[in-house]
Amino acid sequence: MDSIEQAEKLRLLFTSLWEIMYNNGERNWINGINIIITSLTPPNYNGLENAKDAIESANRTFGSMLRGNGSFSDYFIWKDDFKERIKANEEFDKIKNDIYNLLP
């Protein structure tokens, strides 16, 4: 897969992540996700040179969000109903895993 295709797949995955979080009331972490989406958006990739540089930027930004206690890695979707909570977080975790697999 070339960098342009990889950047587009990542952009779509991060957009899905953003939508799930926004629809569940998240207003903090979506700011970082929005920065990543912007950097992965062609044609100018938010002023970065190319798709490869955009992917590296997304990787750095996402990596910084995952460090330490209380980081994005601790984020989960809360639903009062346990079964709904499990289902929502399984979908959310699948998208995060797909992102991890595409990032360098």
Domain residue ranges of the chain, discontinuous segments joined by + = 3-102
Q: In this structure, what DSSP letter does residue 78 have?
A: -
User: What is the per-residue pLDDT for 68?
Assistant: 79
First to last CA, the chain: 13
For residue 102, CA distances in Å to 2, 10, 42, 69 come to 12, 7, 18, 24
Q: Residue 6 corresponds to which tokens in the numbers above? A: 């990889």
pTM of the predicted protein model: 0.92
User: What is the per-residue pLDDT for 73?
Assistant: 86
Q: How far apart (Å, rounded) are the C-alpha atoms in residues 46 and 38?
A: 6
For residue range 32-83, what is the model confidence (pLDDT) as tens digits? 999 999 999 999 898 888 999 999 999 999 999 988 788 898 899 999 999 9
The pLDDT confidence band at residue 26, using thresholds 50, 70 and 90, is: very high
